[in-house]
Amino acid sequence: MSAPLAGKFQDHYEVLGVEPNAELEAIQLAYARLAQQFHPGNPETGDASKFDAVNLAYEVLSQPDLRGAFDKLKGIGAENNSPKFTGLPFFESLGRENGLRAALMCVLYDRRRQKPFTPSLSVRHVENIIVSTLEEMAFVLWYLKDRRWVISDDKSSLQLTADGVEYLEKYPPAADLVMPFIKASGLMTPVAGWEEAAAEKAVPESAEAAYEETAYIAEEAELVSATPTVEDPQQRANLNRILSRGRN
């Protein structure tokens, strides 16, 4: 194991920004993001001391015996790690991960289509595009990797698999399901007003409600230059086709 930094106690959970009861997937995700951010070779955010701290934290927390010893040293007992059910918030957020999964797959599909020779995106780049918490992303990645729709390359960057491409093309998600998870700054051509409108619809109560609200979101995000009228049958048909995509 690496030597402690400057002989001082380091809270490994705090360094990686994860909770003491965090699963290994969340720890790996946090490490990949911070290691890329603080790597000395990064001209913008490189920091050798923080990079060493992140490596040490991951080295300890990724190994059960070392993590157990650290937990005892930190005073984390069975009472602190006793599982609890979230309660009502669980039901309120149930299904949100479906939209987040679709958003991540769409982003990785788009990357593979645009850059077929470099189809991977680092965790840091994904975070710059997608709105999510660390725990949400860890849960989503566990699911997508378990289904073999997304994999990590030898640099821990993410890429969509052939199975993932096939699934997305067979079951294309609607734009209103995906776009609330996309940051305006992450769009190739940012659309004014999209984030504000999307934030209100980030967790639709049901697929039916989401579809009913699609026109509202599109109008708020200025995705269409104007609402089609009876005098614009072709424009109305085109918009209806876009908004109905993925319902079946």
For 27-49, the pLDDT digits (tens) are 999 999 999 999 999 998 999 99
Please give the average per-residue pLDDT across 115-135, as a whole number: 89
Q: Which residues, at least 6 apart from 124, have a Cβ–Cβ distance to it below 8 Å?
A: 33, 36, 37
Q: Specify the residue for token string 């708020």.
A: 220
Residue 157's nearest CA partner among 27, 24, 29 is 29
Does the reported pTM lie above 0.85? no
Q: Classify strands 158-160 and 150-152 as parallel, antiparallel or unpaired.
A: antiparallel
Least trusted range by pLDDT, from 31-35, 92-96, 127-131: 92-96
CA 25 to chain centre: 13
In whole angstroms, give the CA distance from residue 141 to residue 100.
Answer: 10
Please give the average per-residue pLDDT across 69-85, as a whole number: 72
183 pLDDT higher than 50: yes
CA 224 to chain centre: 27
The answer to whether 174 touches 241, Cβ cutoff 8 Å, is: no
End-to-end Cα separation, the chain, in angstroms: 53
Answer with the residue of higher pLDDT: 208 or 30.
30
144 pLDDT higher than 90: yes
Answer with the residue of higher pLDDT: 234 or 47.
47
Q: Where in the sequence of the chain do the CATH 1.10.287.110 domains occur?
A: 5-74
Q: Mean of the per-residue pLDDT values for the chain?
A: 78
Answer with the residue of higher pLDDT: 171 or 222.
171
**pLDDT value for 136:** 87
H helix count then E strand count, the chain? 14, 2
The answer to whether 75 touches 20, Cβ cutoff 8 Å, is: no
108 pLDDT higher than 80: yes
- CATH topology classification for 5-74: Helix Hairpins (1.10.287)
Answer with the residue of higher pLDDT: 34 or 124.
34
The answer to whether 58 touches 27, Cβ cutoff 8 Å, is: yes
